[in-house]
Structure 1
Amino acid sequence: MLRRLIESENYTSEEFGRVLTGLGIRRSVGRTGVCWDNAMAESFFSALKNEWLHRFVFTTRAKAKRQVIRYIEGFYNHRRLHSALGYRPPLEVLNEFLSTQTAA
């Protein structure tokens, strides 16, 4: 049931909330209709699902966790271009920021 709810992307539904509560998970969402508070997180999770996770079938949580880490550390931070960062990968922007901090 959780997988069906996640695939439908109906994260604000009452049914989804009950499932999360039953699993001991607290969701972090703003008020209904306030789209910008989670925009960056929603964008990330959309990319994660569409670019990576839909390619795999996971038999354990550990395997799913490894693939998420592989996506984030192997692709998302190092090679994926982000429009919010001037079409540069996050690691490049971070390194640029750190080099300006050490030079100052």
Structure 2
Amino acid sequence: MAIRSNNITDTLVFHSDRGSKYASYDFTDILKGHNGLVVQSMIRKGNYWDNAVAESFFKSLKGEWIYHQD
């Protein structure tokens, strides 16, 4: 969706958990099909704290942009 709605000129990092849908060959092939502009990033196996920083950032972003909270 980000690629379809924007003109991507710099590297885009797609960060996700290690779910089967994100680790599948079909999904990784889609990411690789964008001439190196999309790089996949996943949390480390067994270390769910890796995602805490991203979750905190997006919670703040959503609060400020969507709900207009300081």
* TM-score bin, normalised by smaller chain: 0.3 to 0.5
- Structure with a larger share of its residues in strand: 2
TM-score w.r.t. the length of structure 2 is: 0.38
Over alpha carbons, which structure has the higher Rg? 1
- Structure with a larger share of its residues in helix: 1
